[in-house]
């Protein structure tokens, strides 16, 4: 692996990389099948990724004809790695076993360890015999929509494919590792003005927010829209507010600390609510919500932007969904992709039907959406909200930070990249986008 890394750092051409042997094993972060009961009886909050995530050598899988073997320079923590590492809502080994029953290449995935991670910036080392558009030496980022393109169901909107999966969550050989194998149709060009770790954090959350707020498949914003964004400085929210600003909409960001309020102001988000200061108590107890608290949120929003919101960008789930359905304006849309605080949702249906609101489900993005979202990063129109960087050895701590909501934006993880700041090719574009802007979250997170 050292030879591969030295060649990459020296800028070796693709032919040279292609001539270097791919090692038979590699360093990776994984959870173990025989430990999936380790947190039984504990509350979610007390389940600690630092005890379940291991870093060690695993065998390099064979390469399928439609795949690329990549040297991972950096990766990122996503909430799905938190879910895998606390074995909630289900252990992910069930996903691997199901994939394992899908033919000879699928069988590689059903192992007693699950290599996690759904983001990467990387260099292509090998491509399978059916790969046409990529070659050794290409610098890439990886999106996580893992789709069998021989299924007819994958050929309208591939996220609707009946065997669609998320790489590194519902498949093995994820990105928190020094090597990975991915489908060629997961690859996208690496933004040339970003370091490896800046480039690594975007694909999953950026593409998800793009589909939710820009794509026709989500709840696309139009100029003048007002958009309530929960967790507005978090992984998804940090992209959502940028899409609002770029698209002429007005984001109303909700966060939980003054430092996050300051960060959003610096990013250009004027209307921000600190939910800790506001002290909303949407739930009176475990079973009953408090409509007067929903009204208070609505009043606070109108106080900031003069109107109700056209769109609510939802992902906290049980704790906020009742308030979100209430807060959307007549005819508005609540677009949701998650339920961090609980997936059994309750809202007052009268507010939905009488005011003709829509709840729209959304999940990651298809290749085209991920590609277009990546292009905006490549052009410097979307900045990476990288706030902290950990080494792969400390992946457990990095996942713990996200689990405990101690972070802002995205946490990057150095895999093969020996230090931060490497991999920047286009210094002119970087200067044009602005060093201050590109490092905004990093400065706040430091
Ligand atoms: P994140 O970086 O942890 O950000 C989420 C933010 O939500 C937190 O920073 C927090 O912000 C806010 N939040 C958390 N609990 C809340 C609550 N009870 N009430 C109000 N706000 C709350 O996570 P993320 O990457 O944005 O992901 C968020 C969720 O979306 C996760 O469940 C993840 O699995 C899911 N997700 C789904 C997809 C998909 O394709 N379906 C893609 C990406 C992520 P404040 O404390 O500052 O308010």
143 CB near ligand 1 (under 6 Å): no
Q: How many residues does the chain have?
A: 446
CA–CA gap between residue 375 and residue 378 (Å, rounded): 5
Establish whether residue 341 lines the binding site of ligand 1, counting it when its CB lies within 6 angstroms of any ligand atom: yes
**Alpha carbon distance 123, 148 (integer Å):** 23
Ligand 1 center to residue 82 CA distance, Å?
11
Question: Could you tell me the sign of the dihedral formed by the alpha carbons of 45, 51, 55, 57, in that order?
Answer: negative
Tell me the percentage of the chain whose pLDDT exceeds 70. 100
Secondary structure, 3-state, the chain: CHHHHHHHHCCCCHHHHHHCCCCCEEEEEEEEHHHCCCCCCCCHHHCCHHHHCEEEEEECCCCCCCEEEEEEEEEECCHHHHHHHCCCCCCCHHHHHHHHCCHHHHHCCCCCEEECCCCEEEEEEEECCCCCCCCCCCEEEECCEECCCCCHHHCCCHHHCCCCEECCCCCCCCCCECEEEEEHHHEEECCCCCCHHHHHCCHHHHHHHHHHHCCCCCCCCCCCCEEEECCCCCHHHHHHHHHHHHCCCEEEEEECCHHHHHHHHHHCCCEEEEHHHHCCCCECCCCCECHHHHHHHHHHHHHHHCCCEEEEEECCHHHCHHHHHHHEEEEEEEEECCCCCCCCCCCCHHHHHCCCCEEEECCCCCHHHHHHHHHHHHCCCCCCCEEEEEEHHHHHHHHHHHHCCCCCCEEEEECCCCCCCCCCCCHHHHHHHCHHHHCHHHHHHC
User: What span, in angstroms and rounded, lies between the C-alpha atoms of 67 and 83?
Assistant: 26
- Ligand 1 contacts CB of residue 336 (under 6 A): no
Per the CB < 8 A criterion, the answer to whether 113 and 163 are in contact is no
Portions of the chain given CATH number 3.90.180.10 = 2-204+366-443
| pLDDT at residue 149, rounded to an integer | 85
Quick one: residue 271, left, alpha or beta (phi over 0 = left, psi -120 to 50 = alpha)? beta
- Cα 314 to ligand 1 centre (Å): 9
Closest by CA position to 70, among listed 112, 126, 2: 126
Ligand 1 centre to CA of 340 (Å) is 6
320 lines ligand 1 (CB under 6 A): yes
Looking from the CA of 358 toward its CB, the CA atoms found within 13 Å total 12
* CA of residue 58 to ligand 1 center, whole Å: 31
Closest Cα to atom 33, ligand 1: which residue? 79
209 lines ligand 1 (CB under 6 A): no
Ligand 1 lined by 202 (C-beta under 6 Å): no
Ligand 1 mean position to 9 CA, how many Å?
35
Which has the closest alpha carbon to 187: 273, 35, 70?
Answer: 70
Positive or negative torsion for Cα 155, 158, 160, 163: positive
Phi, psi (5° rounding) for residue 148? -80, 105
Q: What's the CA angle centered on 171, arms 416 and 235, to 5 degrees?
A: 65
Give the whole-angstrom CA distance, residue 31 versus residue 41.
19
Q: Does the beta carbon of 79 lie inside 6 Å of ligand 1? A: yes
Residue of 340, 370, 406 to test ligand 1 pocket, by largest number of atoms within 8 Å of CB: 340
Q: What's the maximum distance between 2 C-alpha atoms anywhere in the chain?
A: 67
What per-residue confidence (pLDDT) applies to 446?
60
User: Which ligand 1 atom is nearest residue 319's CA?
Assistant: 18
**For a pocket test of ligand 1, which of 233, 316, 324 has the largest count of ligand atoms closer than 8 A to its C-beta?**
316
pLDDT range class, residue 444, cuts 50, 70, 90: confident
Compute, in angstroms, the gap from residue 141 CA to the centroid of ligand 1.
Answer: 22
Query: Could you tell me where in the chain the CATH 3.40.50.720 domains are found?
Result: 219-361
Q: Note the pTM of the prediction, 2 decimals.
A: 0.98
Ligand 1 in reach of 80 Cβ (< 6 A): yes
| CATH tag, 2-204+366-443 | 3.90.180.10
Among protein residues, the one with the nearest Cα to ligand 1's atom 12 is 231
Residue 66 has pLDDT above 70, yes or no: yes
CA atoms within 13 Å, Cβ hemisphere of 56: 9
Alpha-carbon distance of 98 to 146, in angstroms, equals: 14
- Kindly state if the Cβ of 164 falls inside 6 Å of ligand 1: no
pLDDT digits 0-9 by tens, 396-430: 999 999 999 999 999 999 999 999 999 999 999 99
Q: Whole-angstrom Cα distance, residue 140 to residue 122? A: 5
Average pLDDT, the chain: 97
At 76, give phi and psi (nearest 5°).
-150, 160
Tracing tokens 């992984």 back to the chain, one arrives at 235
Rounded Cα distance, 262 and 270, in Å: 10
CA of 12 to the centre of ligand 1 (A): 40
Residue percentage of the chain with pLDDT more than 90:
98
Going from the Cα of 133 to the center of ligand 1, the distance in angstroms, rounded, reads: 34
Query: Best of 315, 318, 323 to mutate for ligand 1, by most ligand atoms within 8 A of CB?
Result: 315
pLDDT per position as a tens digit, 1-23: 999 999 999 999 999 999 999 99
104's tokens: 């000879």
CA 337 to ligand 1 center in whole angstroms? 10
255 CB within 6 A, ligand 1: yes
CA distance 56 to 396: 13
Does the C-beta of 337 come closer than 6 Å to ligand 1?
yes
Q: What is the pLDDT of residues 287-329, one digit of tens each?
A: 999 999 999 999 999 999 999 999 999 999 999 999 999 999 9
125-182: per-residue pLDDT in tens?
999 999 999 999 999 999 999 998 888 999 999 999 999 999 999 999 999 999 999 9
Task: Please state which CATH class domain 219-361 belongs to.
Answer: alpha beta
Residue 340 CA, closest ligand 1 atom number: 32
């Amino acid at each position: 692996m050292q030879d591969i890394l030295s060649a990459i750092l020296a800028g070796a051409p693709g032919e040279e990389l292609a001539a270097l042997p791919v090692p038979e094993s590699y360093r990776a972060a994984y959870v173990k099948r025989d430990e999936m009961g380790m947190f039984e009886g504990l509350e979610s909050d007390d389940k600690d990724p630092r005890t379940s995530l291991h870093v060690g050598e695993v065998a390099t899988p064979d390469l399928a004809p439609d795949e690329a073997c990549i040297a991972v320079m950096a990766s990122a923590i996503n909430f799905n790695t938190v879910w895998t590492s606390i074995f909630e809502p289900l252990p992910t080994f069930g996903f691997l076993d199901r994939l394992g029953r899908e033919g000879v290449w699928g069988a590689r995935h059903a192992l007693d360890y699950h290599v996690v991670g759904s983001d990467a910036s990387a260099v292509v080392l090998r491509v399978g015999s059916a790969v046409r558009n990529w070659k050794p030496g290409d610098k890439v980022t990886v999106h996580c929509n893992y789709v069998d393109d021989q299924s007819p169901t994958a050929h309208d909107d591939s996220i609707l494919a009946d065997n669609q999966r998320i790489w590194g969550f519902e498949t093995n050989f994820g990105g928190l590792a020094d090597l990975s194998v991915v489908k060629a149709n997961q690859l996208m060009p690496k933004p040339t003005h970003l370091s490896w770790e800046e480039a690594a954090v975007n694909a999953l959350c950026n593409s998800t927010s793009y589909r939710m707020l820009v794509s026709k498949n989500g709840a696309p914003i139009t100029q003048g829209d007002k958009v309530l964004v929960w967790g507005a400085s978090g992984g998804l929210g940090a992209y959502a507010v940028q899409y609002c600003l770029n698209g002429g909409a007005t984001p109303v960001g909700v966060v939980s600390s003054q430092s996050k309020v300051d960060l959003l102001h610096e990013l250009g988000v004027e209307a921000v609510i600190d939910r800790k200061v506001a002290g909303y108590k949407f739930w009176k107890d475990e079973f009953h919500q408090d409509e007067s608290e929903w009204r208070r949120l609505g009043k606070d929003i109108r106080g900031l932007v003069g109107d109700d919101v056209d769109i609510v960008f939802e992902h906290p789930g049980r704790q906020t969904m009742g308030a979100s359905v209430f807060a959307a304006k007549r005819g508005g849309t609540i677009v949701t992709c998650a339920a961090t605080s609980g997936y059994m949702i309750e809202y007052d249906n009268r507010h939905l039907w009488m005011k003709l609101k829509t709840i729209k489900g959304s999940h990651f993005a298809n290749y085209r959406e991920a590609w277009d979202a990546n292009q905006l990063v490549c052009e410097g129109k979307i900045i990476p909200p990288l706030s902290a960087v950990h080494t792969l050895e400390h992946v457990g701590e990095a996942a713990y930070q996200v689990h405990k909501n101690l972070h802002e934006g995205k946490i990057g993880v150095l895999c093969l990249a020996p230090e931060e700041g490497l991999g920047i090719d286009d210094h002119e574009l970087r200067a044009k986008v602005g060093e201050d802007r590109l490092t905004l979250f990093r400065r706040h997170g430091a």
